[in-house]
Amino acid sequence: MIKLISVDELRPGMFIHRLDVWWLKEKGASGQTLIGDLRQISRIQAQGIRHLWIDLDKTVPPPASLPPQRKSQPESPFISELSCARRILQEGKPKVRSMFNEARMGHRLNLSWALPLVDKIAGSVHRYPSALLSVARLKNHDDYIWLHSMAVCGLMISLAQQLKLDDEQVRRVGLGGLLHDVGKAAIPLDILNKPGKLSDKEFELMKEHPVTGAQMLLEAGAAEDLIDIALHHHEKIDGSGYPHGLKGGEITLYSRMAAVCDVYDAITSIRPYKEGWNPAEAMHRMANWHGHFDRAVFHAFVKQLGIYPVGSLVRLASGSVALVVQPGKASLLRPDVHVFWSLRAQREIKPERAVTATILLSARKRRACGDISILIRSGCWRARKLPAAEIYQDLNNFTELRL
Ligand SMILES: [Fe+2]
C-alpha cells in the first residue's frame, strides 16, 4: 500500500516509493529507497522536501538500537527554505563564475551545467518563492554578477509562473535569465566594477554586451530563445532601448520579462556605484517609468512579488516592525511578515512564524520608524538604533538571515 506522509513522519525502516518533487534529480534521492538511518532522513529534509510517498508493504521495523527521536522545534517553511536557497546559490556561484571566466578568455561557452542549476533554483522558487530571492538580493561587489544572473533566473521563473507559462517554458525563461548578461564577460573589469558613474564612452562600451552575449550563445549552439533574451533584455517598450530600439510587440515576451526582472534585481542590489533601493520603493519607481516596461508583464510581476516585496521593512498596526517574507495570497496589501521588533518596548521580539499583517504606513511614512535597524550576523538577530537615513542601507547589507 502506498501512502503519502510528511517528511517529519519519515523513520528508518520506511521504504520510499516516490519523492513527489519534479525538480529533484540528485542521484540516490529520486528513486525507490529503504531508509536505513537518520542521516538519510536529514539529507532528504535538507533538500527541502515536505512530503513523500512510502510503500507500507516494503517497510520494515526500525533497528532496535536506534536512539529515541527528539522533538525539535518546528521551523517555518520560509526559514527552512532560506538555508536550501543559500546552499543552491553557494553551489551555483562557482559555476556561473567559471562560465564568465571562460568567456572572458575567449573560450566557447559550455552550458551543460546550466539547466541542472535552473532546476534547483526552480525547485526553491516553487517551494517558497521569496526565500531564494531574499538571499540573492544580498550581494557584495565581488559576487554581484554571478548572484545577479541567478537572481534574474529566479525572478524569471517566478514571473513565468504568474504568467501561467508551462513547465518547459518556465525552464527556458529561467535559463535565459541565468545567461542573459553573459556578454558582460567581454567588458573590461575596471569598467564592469567601476566605483562610480560610467563615462559616455564607457557606457557605450557597456551597451555592447547584449550583442556580444548573443554572439557567444550563438557560437555555443544555444537555442534561439536564449539568444533573444541575451540580445534584447535592454529593449524598452517605447523603442528607446538598445541595441536595436525595438518597440512593443517587436520585443518577444521572454525579453519583455527579462527587462523587468533585470532592472528590478539591479536597482534593489548594491552596485559598485549605487546603494540598492528598498524593494517597495523600487516597485513604486518602476511603476512610474512610462514607456520602459510592458505594462501587462510588469503588473504580473507586481502581483507575483507584491506591493511590499520580500525584504521590505514594515511597521505594523500592533506597533511592531517586521520583515516581509511573502506576498499576501488574498491581498497585495497584506503580505506575510516576520515580526521582530517592538517599537513600544524598544526591544527585540522573539522571531515568530510568518503571520499575515496589515501594513499601517505608506512607504514614505515607514521612514518614521527609522530609528530601528536590524543587523543579522552570525546566525542571530540583533537590533540597534540608527538614524532613519541608514535603515534601508543596513537592510540591504545583511549577509545572513537565519533565525
Ligand atoms: Fe544586461
pLDDT in tens, the chain (403 residues): 777 777 777 887 788 877 655 444 444 445 577 787 777 777 776 666 767 778 777 777 665 555 555 455 555 676 678 788 889 999 999 999 999 999 999 999 999 999 999 999 999 998 887 778 777 766 666 788 889 999 999 999 999 999 999 999 999 999 999 999 999 999 998 888 887 788 999 999 999 999 999 999 999 999 999 999 999 999 999 999 999 999 999 999 999 999 999 999 988 875 555 666 777 778 888 998 999 999 999 999 988 887 777 766 666 666 666 677 676 666 666 777 777 677 667 666 765 555 554 443 333 333 333 333 333 322 223 333 333 333 333 333 322 222 2
Distance 144 CA to ligand 1 centre (A): 13
The confidence score (pLDDT) of residue 21 equals: 56
Distance 202 CA to ligand 1 centre (A): 14
Distance 126 CA to ligand 1 centre (A): 25
Distance 331 CA to ligand 1 centre (A): 32
Distance 234 CA to ligand 1 centre (A): 6
Distance 90 CA to ligand 1 centre (A): 22
Distance 160 CA to ligand 1 centre (A): 19
Distance 213 CA to ligand 1 centre (A): 9
Distance 179 CA to ligand 1 centre (A): 10
Distance 119 CA to ligand 1 centre (A): 22
Distance 170 CA to ligand 1 centre (A): 20
Residues with CB under 5 A from ligand 1 (ion): 181
Distance 97 CA to ligand 1 centre (A): 16
Distance 182 CA to ligand 1 centre (A): 8
Distance 292 CA to ligand 1 centre (A): 15
Distance 149 CA to ligand 1 centre (A): 10
Distance 210 CA to ligand 1 centre (A): 6
Q: Is this structure's pTM higher than 0.75? A: no
Distance 233 CA to ligand 1 centre (A): 6
CB-CB contact of 366 with 313 (8 Å):
yes
Distance 244 CA to ligand 1 centre (A): 14
The confidence score (pLDDT) of residue 38 equals: 73
Distance 218 CA to ligand 1 centre (A): 17
The confidence score (pLDDT) of residue 5 equals: 78
Distance 344 CA to ligand 1 centre (A): 45
Distance 309 CA to ligand 1 centre (A): 22
CB-CB contact of 280 with 307 (8 Å):
yes
Distance 208 CA to ligand 1 centre (A): 9
Distance 215 CA to ligand 1 centre (A): 14
Distance 168 CA to ligand 1 centre (A): 24
Distance 206 CA to ligand 1 centre (A): 9
Distance 205 CA to ligand 1 centre (A): 12
